[in-house]
A and B are shown apart, each in its own frame.
Chain A
Amino acid sequence: MLRHRDRGGAAELGLLRVSAFVTPVPPMGGTGPDRLRMRRTVERLAAGDLTGRRVGTPGGRAAAGWLAALLSDAGAEVRLDPFAVTGAVREVHATPIARFGGSGLVFRRDFCEHLASAGLPEPVSAPVSGAAMAGAWWASASWGPDVAAAAVSAGAVGLLVPRGTDTAGWMPKMIAGPAVVGIPVLAVRTDLHARMRAEGGEFTASVPVRTVDVAATNVIAEFRPPGAISVLLTAHFDGVGDDPDRRFPAACDNASGVAAVIEAARILHAVLPPGIGLSVALLDAEEAGAHGSAHHAPTVPPGTYVINLDGAARLGIAAVEAGGPAAPLLLALDRAARRSGVPLKAQPMPSDNRRYAAAGLASAGIGMGMPGYQTPAETPDRVEDATLTAAASLLIETVTELALPPAGGEV
């Protein structure tokens, strides 16, 4: 267990404590993270003209440009780093339709595209069967490549698999998943699917989905050049994107994380001593499989501490997953959280942090809540000011801990 000297918390000192180790910094006037500034960032990223910020869309590119300007205004040297994402993004290019039992079904409430589905641009009507059968929609109790292969082999029209909804009745949208199979596949709300299997009847549906190759852009900002200790704060700015006729604002996942990271960096830039490196990477294509971090991680100097924030909208207990040589980072995070009053829990965080860990870097992923996760309900009002502030404060405190060596020379 590491020891460290007793240090006053950042909050107790208005913001960041100035120790003997730290070069004196200008007084910050007792200001902490600016919740209004973070709120404006969330609202801008969730605005309609950015269309949910899916990678490779005009809205995604516009978001990258806006963020680059914001980071530049905050004092960073900023560059846009383009890269390609091929064969990964599934795009719904028209609203799918479905009818069963004489009624139209509602897309993303009663049914949605399965990510492995082959495209079916025009509606096809056929009976529903509880078994693989030629000329029928097969309402299968389970999903898997073997099931899809059996459906193809039998000559089924398509495959219907069960899926639940969130508490608000939405089927969260995703844009990347398993390999595409040779047959249309739809996910149907679990209770409706059970009724189909029990009663049969005619089902009509289209699945206008396709795989698209897209151009992505990371936004890389250097606030301070690499030093004896270097920290990289990351957050993905892309979302799953709007549907053809429905908005997915992506305010929580992850406009909230972006806002907190930028605010933390802005404040740290003003108070960190020389010799402490500080960069920010706002990553694209996380929703398509963490491609932005996969592209960026190999370029990060060895020894850099990476902290990824994915969700800062509703804090219960912050989820933390670390990878790589992250023991010092975890201890710093723990100390910072104790001072900040943020409870932490070891929990899987499948996000960009894993790409940095896989590159051999000390990496921690933090999640602080995403109400309405990847549904139309993920609106700016779901992002709590208190959570934004807690997230930014936690980042600031953690970087401060890393910058201040523990007493006695422990590492």
Chain B
Amino acid sequence: MSAETTKPAGGFAGDPMAALHPPASSGGCCGGAAVATIAAEGGCCGTTDATAAGCCGTETAEAPRSSGCCG
């Protein structure tokens, strides 16, 4: 199948407002890079607040996964 026939349409596939609360389980991190290897050691993704719960942002405040990804 050619690239032309497989190219996805632009925009959000669903409700754009979902980006206000992106699902924590959506995978990926660090600017969308497919980095699944950063250790669960605190430093991640040039991120914001390193909280006791982890460093994956102030909104979800979830601990980094074993993959190291924030989400």
Contacts and interface: CB of A to CB of B under 8 A. Distances in A.
B1 interface: no
A342 interface: yes
A326 B67 CA distance: 30
Interface residues of A, number: 74
B49 A289 contact: yes
B44 A174 contact: yes
A52 interface: no
Contact of A322 (B7, B19, B58): B19
Contact of A162 (B10, B38, B39, B60): B39
Interface in A145-177: 161-167, 171-172, 174-177
B57 A348 contact: yes
Given A178-B41, A354-B57, A340 B33 contact: no
A110 interface: no
Contact of B43 (A166, A177, A335, A358): A177
Nearest to B51: A178
Interface stretch (A75-83, A221-229, A266-274, A367-375): A367-375
By CB atoms of chain A within 10 A, which of B18, B23, B43, B50 has the most?
Answer: B43
Contacts of B55: 177-178
Contact of B13 (A175, A345, A368): A345
A320 B19 contact: yes
A310 B56 CA distance: 16
Given A345-B12, A348-B57, A319 B46 contact: no
Interface of A: 114-116, 143, 161-167, 171-172, 174-179, 187, 236, 240, 252-254, 257, 286-290, 310-311, 316-323, 326-327, 330-331, 333-335, 337-351, 354-355, 358, 364, 367-371, 373-374
15 contacts: A163-B41, A178-B41, A252-B33, A289-B49, A289-B50, A320-B19, A330-B16, A341-B7, A342-B10, A344-B12, A346-B14, A347-B22, A350-B30, A351-B45, A364-B19
